[in-house]
């Protein structure tokens, strides 16, 4: 996962983070299934069918306290994300937008708040940047995946992540 939480970033940084790496050469690689090597019709070893890893990006977005209202700083960051999602490299990609919270408060409340925040991000990208709604799946994670478990109330745990779906 590429972490852009602690620095300013551009739409190109977002594109780079969410673009799958070039496929590695598979020459000389043996793929086995139940102890058998898979061989192509021409007698060559078949290339492995390993899907490329999903690319993910974590950004720090500030919201109004106890709210899903995005701050001006968050909107500026989302403008870079929106431009990136409309770029040629990402125009057809689909993403999971995951909202995360710190561990302050009740678990059910944090889960609902993180979902509302992910929905706010999705709504902004659709309305402001014309990203097709079906390309963005918003979900809340609450405090289930803390970046800093040693400090469950730390601001670093309050974030939004984008992960490729396809």
Percent of the chain predicted with pLDDT > 70: 77
Ordered by where they begin, the domains of the chain are: 2-17+51-164 (3.30.1330.60)
* Bridge partners (DSSP) listed for residue 36: 33
Among 12-21, 42-51, 82-91, which stretch is predicted with the lowest mean pLDDT?
42-51
pLDDT 10s digits, 100-150: 999 999 999 999 999 999 999 999 999 999 999 999 999 999 999 998 999
The Cα-based distances of 61 to 11, 48, 159, 161, 163 in angstroms read 15, 39, 6, 10, 16
3-state secondary structure of 141: strand
Look up the pTM and report it: 0.74
pLDDT at position 50 is 55
pLDDT at position 31 is 45
If 0-12 CB within 10 Å is exposed, 13-18 middle and 19+ buried, where does residue 120 land? buried
Helix ranges, the chain (H)? 11-18, 72-85, 107-129
């Amino acid at each position: 996962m590429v972490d852009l939480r602690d620095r300013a970033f551009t739409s190109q940084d977002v594109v780079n983070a969410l673009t799958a790496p070039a496929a590695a050469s598979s020459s000389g690689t043996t793929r086995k299934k139940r102890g058998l090597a898979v061989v192509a019709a021409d007698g060559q070893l078949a290339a492995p069918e390993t899907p490329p890893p999903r690319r993910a990006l974590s950004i720090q977005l500030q919201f109004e306290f106890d709210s899903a209202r995005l701050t001006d700083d968050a909107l500026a960051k989302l403008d870079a994300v929106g431009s990136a999602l409309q770029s040629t490299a990402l125009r057809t990609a689909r993403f999971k937008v995951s909202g995360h919270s710190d561990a302050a408060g009740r678990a059910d409340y944090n889960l609902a708040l993180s979902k509302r925040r992910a929905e706010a991000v999705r709504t902004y990208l659709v309305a402001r940047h014309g990203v097709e709604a079906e390309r963005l799946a918003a979900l809340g994670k609450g405090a289930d995946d803390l970046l800093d478990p040693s400090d469950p109330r730390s601001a670093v745990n309050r974030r939004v992540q984008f992960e490729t779906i396809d």
